Amino acid sequence: MNRIFAHLVLMRPANIVTAIADIMAGFAAAGAVRLIQQEVGSAYGSLYHPLASDLGWLVLSTIGLYGGGVVFNDVFDAELDKVERPERPIPSGAATKASAATLGALLLLLGIGAAFVVSTTSGVIAAVVAGLALLYDAWGKHQGFLGPINMGACRGGNLLLGMSAVTSSLEHYWYLAFIPIVYIANITVISRGEVHGGSRPILQAAVALYVLVFLSIGALSFLPHFSLLTALPFALLFAYLILLPLLKAVKTLQPQEIRLAVKAGVLSLIIMDATLAAGFAGWLYGLAVLLLFPVSRFMAKQFAVT
C-alpha cells in the first residue's frame, strides 16, 4: 500500500459518498429543490441558481467533515488496531499517526470553512458536527449507551447541515435529524460484534430499531410537502438491502456476517436519504440521490468501509 492510497483508505471514500447523500436529503427537506424549480421554471432547476451553489459548498463541507472524522478515528485507534485490525494504514506502517492527524485536521477545517461560505448557521452546524466526530473518536466509541447516540448525532447534524441551505427550514423540520440518529446509532451497536461476534438479543433489538426507522419515515406522510407514495419504492428497496444481511447475522452471530450487515447498513444510508429526498422533492431528485449508491458500492470494493 503506497502512502497516497493509504491516506485515501483512511478517509473511507465509499462512506463519504453516503455523507453527500445526507446533504442532498437535507437540501430536499428544506424545500430548496422546490424553490429552485419555482424560481427557474424548470422541473430540473438550474446549476446557476444561488441555492445550487450552496449545495455544492455543503457537499464540499461534508466531504471534509466526514473524511476528517474517520481519519481521526484511526488516529485514536492506532494502538488497538495493532491487535485487532493490523491491516489498516497506521498499524501496517503505510501511514503515520502524525501524517494522518495532519490530514484529518485539514479536512475538518475545510469542512467548517466551506459551510461558513453558505451562512453563519451552516458554519456553526459544521463546527458542531466536527466536534461531535472528535468526541466520538476520542471518547464516545468506548461508551456503551452514549457512544452510538454520539455517532448518530454526527449524521443527524449532517442532515441539518443540508437543510441549512434554507435556514428557516431548521425551525420547522429540525426533528428529521432523529431519523439518521436512530439509524446510525443502531449500526454502531451492531458493529460492536464485527471482531468477536454478536449478541442475539442485541441484534434482534437492532431489527426492531430498523422497523422504527421505517415507521418514522411513514409518519412523514402527515407533513404537507412529503409524498409517501413517491417515497415508497425507495423505502422498499431500503428495507430489502438492510434487513436481509442483518437477519442472517442474527441467525449466525458470526463476525463476518455482522461485518456485512454493518457494510450494508452504512451504504444503504444512501437509500434512506433517497427515500427522504423523493418524498420531499419528487422521484427524479430521489433517483439522483439513489445514483450515489452504485458509486459508493464501487468505491467500497476499492476501499474499506469499516
Q: pLDDT tens for the chain, 306 residues: list them.
A: 689 999 999 999 999 999 999 999 999 999 999 888 888 766 556 678 899 999 999 999 999 999 999 999 999 999 999 998 899 999 999 999 999 999 999 999 999 999 999 999 999 999 999 999 999 999 999 898 898 899 999 999 999 999 999 999 999 999 999 999 999 999 988 887 776 677 888 899 999 999 999 999 999 999 999 999 999 999 999 999 999 999 999 999 888 899 899 989 988 999 999 999 999 999 999 999 999 999 999 998 888 777
Q: What are the b/e assignments for 265-300, b being 16+ CB within 10 Å? A: bbbbbbbbbbbbbbbbbbbebbebbbebbeebeebb
How far apart (Å, rounded) are the C-alpha atoms in residues 184 and 66?
Answer: 14
**pLDDT at residue 42, rounded to an integer:** 62
CA 245 to chain centre: 19
Closest CA to 76 of 65, 88, 64, 87: 88
Alpha helix ranges (H) inside the chain: 3-11, 13-29, 32-40, 50-76, 78-84, 89-92, 97-118, 120-138, 146-163, 169-173, 178-191, 200-219, 228-252, 255-267, 269-281, 283-290, 292-302
Alpha helix ranges (H) inside 220-254: 228-252
For 49, the 3-state DSSP assignment is: coil
**pLDDT at residue 145, rounded to an integer:** 85
Closest CA to 24 of 58, 50, 47, 49: 58
195 phi/psi in degrees, rounded to 5: -95, -45
**pLDDT at residue 178, rounded to an integer:** 97
How far apart (Å, rounded) are the C-alpha atoms in residues 83 and 204?
Answer: 29
Cα separation values, 121 from 60, 91, 154, 157, Å: 16, 38, 16, 12
CA angle centred on 48, ends 125 and 171, rounded to 5°? 30
Amino acid symbol at 68? G
Q: Which domains does the chain have, with CATH numbers?
A: 3-302 (1.10.357.140)
CA 52 to chain centre: 21
**pLDDT at residue 40, rounded to an integer:** 76
Q: Could you tell me the pTM of the whole model?
A: 0.93
**pLDDT at residue 48, rounded to an integer:** 81
